[in-house]
Amino acid sequence: MVAAAIIVDGRLLLAQRTRPPELAGLWELPGGKAEAGETAEDALRRELREELGVEVSGGDRIGDDVPLPDGRVLRAYRVELVSGTPVALDHAELRWVDGRELGDIDLVGNDRGWVPDLRVHLNGW
């Protein structure tokens, strides 16, 4: 599983989940499941095109691996916006947060451990 940290002008893009019910309303780094044969960068590019309607590049790791209960691993990558403006095509809402706001927002549990790593790159903390 891949998740994207898109940071522009010291703010991180977060997306609010709509499903499943136990995660709906919580915020996450957008991303999803890598398909067979996809590299992490391929998966990020596809997922962000589908979910946000943007083109991204790059893919330096940020934060630690998060082991999921089903045996898969969730990894976060820092990516750069190449074109487009993010739109919530698959989420309830999008938000750009600075370092202080990141501490106040209800993140999905899996993403919470990345907060200190993300904050280093954000304004206002």
The residue within the footprint of ligand CDP, chosen from 6, 31, 56, 97 (CB under 6 A), is 31
CB of 108 to ligand CDP, least distance (A): 5
Sort strands 11-16 and 55-67 into parallel, antiparallel or unpaired.
unpaired
Binding region for ligand CDP (CB under 6 A) out of 5-13, 24-32, 57-65, 80-88: 24-32
Q: Is the peptide bond before 20 cis (omega within 30 degrees of 0)?
A: yes
**Residue 112 CB partners (closer than 8 Å, separation 6+):** none
Q: Is residue 53 near ligand CDP by the rule CB under 6 A?
A: no
Q: Is the peptide bond before 116 cis (omega within 30 degrees of 0)?
A: no
Q: Is residue 43 near ligand CDP by the rule CB under 6 A?
A: no
| The token pair that represents 67 in the structure block | 């082991």
The residue within the footprint of ligand CDP, chosen from 3, 52, 118, 122 (CB under 6 A), is 3
| The token pair that represents 13 in the structure block | 């893009």
Which contiguous run of DSSP H or E holds residue 90? none
The residue within the footprint of ligand CDP, chosen from 28, 48, 78, 102 (CB under 6 A), is 28
What is the chain's alpha carbon radius of gyration, rounded to the nearest angstrom? 13
Q: Is residue 88 near ligand CDP by the rule CB under 6 A?
A: no
The residue within the footprint of ligand CDP, chosen from 108, 115, 119, 125 (CB under 6 A), is 108
Site residues for ligand CDP per CB under 6 A? 1, 3, 28-29, 31-33, 74, 108, 110-111
